[in-house]
Amino acid sequence: MKWLTHFGLSESPFQKDLADDKLWVPTSRRRLVDDLVEGCHERHHVLLVGEPGVGKTCVLRALRQRLQQDGFRLTYCHNATLGRRDFYRHLCLALGLSPKATAAAVFYAISDHVKQLGEERLHPVFLLDEAHLLHQDVLEHLHILANYEWDQKPLLPLVLVGLPEMRERLTLRKNRSLWSRIHTRLSLGAAEPGDTAEYVSFRLKRAAADHELFSTDALGLIHEVSQGALRDIDRIATACLKLAAKRKLVIDRELVARVQQAEPALDDAE
């Protein structure tokens, strides 16, 4: 691609397909991953919420890297739109068990599985991404997975990840059984202005950029427009690189503004 050659980049710097060991994990995110790791070690159920594109799923990937070293067996599910029966089938398949259709059968299959893993000193954790999309009847049944052995420990520790409205749903009276069992409650905020600059620079370096390609005021405007959501930063920064390469321009505030103006406004789309 011409724009990559123009800037001497080895790959598209803001693509979403990036290896776990290439993730940007500044101190603030490392602390969040530490809290998640601690929650899993304590066999807590965990909730992580944040606005779209702030990097929740990438935090889960950083968590996966850490937990795999510590003898955890992670099962990741993002198919949260399933009805209860399909959810159980999916859960069994994800755990490598033959599908079961009823809550009781799933419960027994999973307790057996968990016991076996325990003998091998492996600790299962079930990561449920996009959890705000869970059907209410699935959510109501999740607390069945949440108690085990006279409620002394969870059968299968859950890490629920979703948009901030997930927290609001969980605090509804009808979900209080599950909510009261979620002891680790975390949120991931948008990047601060300094983070945005650091993030852009980090990803450019991973793509072999040999100097800063964005001026400070360009980064300031990217931050303003994206409101610190990394997915939006990715999109705007990529559009800036392409336009700058095409027109042989530097990436300053004016160029970011041009890119921004070329995007259909949110109001027009609605």
Ligand X SMILES: Nc1ncnc2c1ncn2[C@@H]1O[C@H](COP(=O)(O)OP(=O)(O)OP(=O)(O)O)[C@@H](O)[C@H]1O
Shortest spacing between CB 204 and ligand X, in angstroms: 12
* Nearest residue to ligand X, scored by beta-carbon proximity: 55
Q: Binding marks (x or -) toward Mg ion, 42..71, rule CB under 5 A?
A: --------------xx--------------
Among residues 164 and 193, whose Cβ is nearest to Mg ion? 164
HEC string of the chain equals: CHHHHHHCCCCCCCCCCCCHHHCCCCHHHHHHHHHHHHHHHCCCEEEEECCCCCCHHHHHHHHHHHHHCCCEEEEEECCCCCCHHHHHHHHHHHCCCCCCCCHHHHHHHHHHHHHHHHHCCCEEEEEECCHHHCCHHHHHHHHHHHCECCCCECCCCEEEEECCHHHHHHCCHHHHHHHHCEEEEEECCCCCHHHHHHHHHHHHHHCCCCCCCECHHHHHHHHHHHCCCHHHHHHHHHHHHHHHHHHCCCECHHHHHHHHHHCCCHHHHC
Shortest spacing between CB 233 and ligand X, in angstroms: 7
16 binds, among Mg ion, ligand X, none (CB under 5 to 8 A by kind): ligand X
126 binds, among ligand X, Mg ion, none (CB under 5 to 8 A by kind): none
Shortest spacing between CB 45 and ligand X, in angstroms: 19
Q: Is 79 in the site for Mg ion (CB under 5 A)?
A: no
Residues that bind ligand X in the complex, under the rule CB under 6 A: 16, 18, 23-25, 50, 52-58, 163, 230-231, 234
181 binds, among Mg ion, ligand X, none (CB under 5 to 8 A by kind): none
Shortest spacing between CB 62 and ligand X, in angstroms: 7
53 binds, among ligand X, Mg ion, none (CB under 5 to 8 A by kind): ligand X
Among residues 23 and 105, whose Cβ is nearest to ligand X? 23
Cα dihedral 77→81→85→90 (10° resolution): -20
Among residues 15 and 68, whose Cβ is nearest to ligand X? 15
Q: Is 147 in the site for Mg ion (CB under 5 A)?
A: no
Would you tell me which residues interact with Mg ion (CB under 5 A)? 56-57
